[in-house]
Amino acid sequence: MLSKAKTQWAMHQLYKLIPDAQGALVADSPFQLLIAVMLSAQATDVSVNKVTPQLFADFPTPASFANAEIADIEADIHSIGLYHNKAKHIKTCCQQLMADFGGEVPRTHAELEQLAGVGRKTANVVLGDAFNVPSFAVDTHVTRIAKRLKISAQDASVIQIEKDFQAKLPKKTWVQAHHTLILFGRRVCTARKPHCDECPLLRICQAGQQFLEDRG
């Protein structure tokens, strides 16, 4: 496995490559971010940002979602994958916010993960981006990079990958590292045909070296 020192060295290279990385979802409040992240599951941030202006104009508060007809929510998000399930989850989530949290987004993992449609990744993103709580969200990009660089084992679970990064990176950098890795995964360390010849981490990445060797 990649050592703590080498993991931190790798992140410093990525911070130079992609300075000031941040989330791409557009949101004006913790509540809007929560809904946007829920919508982003198996969808692109670009597609979410296309529907949220109208969605939040029609449903500006948790109460408005809680009292809405599911069909009306679906009408605003039908262009996004899994929109039927997402509409149901959003309505139920907002009913929970109203019933259990006074209409406010909670600020702990345990409370966030009680909400319909909210898993650990969504909770981590909301905590980190909305409330500046040190957290490390793991998505498909982070998983791929962790395993290629051997920061985590090939069979590591999402929870284990989160723990591996948290153990190897300073707590104050967790949120920034998460966003940096996502952009690195989108731009360089892609799932298919990664741009290994452009990667500043090639010398510590056996997977990348093998990719280039296989290409000849």
User: What is the dihedral sign for C-alpha 181, 185, 189, 195?
Assistant: negative
Q: Which residue has the tokens 């360390």?
A: 189
Please tell me which residue in 76, 86, 91, 121 is annotated as part of the active site. Answer: 121
Active site residue 58: no
CB 167 within 8 A of CB 146: no
Whole-number Å distance between alpha carbons of 101 and 99: 6
CA atoms within 13 A on the CB side of 95: 13
Rounded CA separation 146/143 (Å): 5
- Say whether 168 is catalytic: no
Residues 39, 24 contacting (CB under 8 angstroms): no
Residues 6+ apart with CB under 8 A from 135: 109, 123, 124, 125, 127, 128, 174, 175, 178
Q: Which of 88, 139, 147, 150 is catalytic?
A: 139
Q: How far apart are CA 154 and CA 24, in angstroms?
A: 28
Question: How far apart are alpha carbons 158 and 142 in whole angstroms?
Answer: 9
Q: Which residues are catalytic?
A: 121, 139
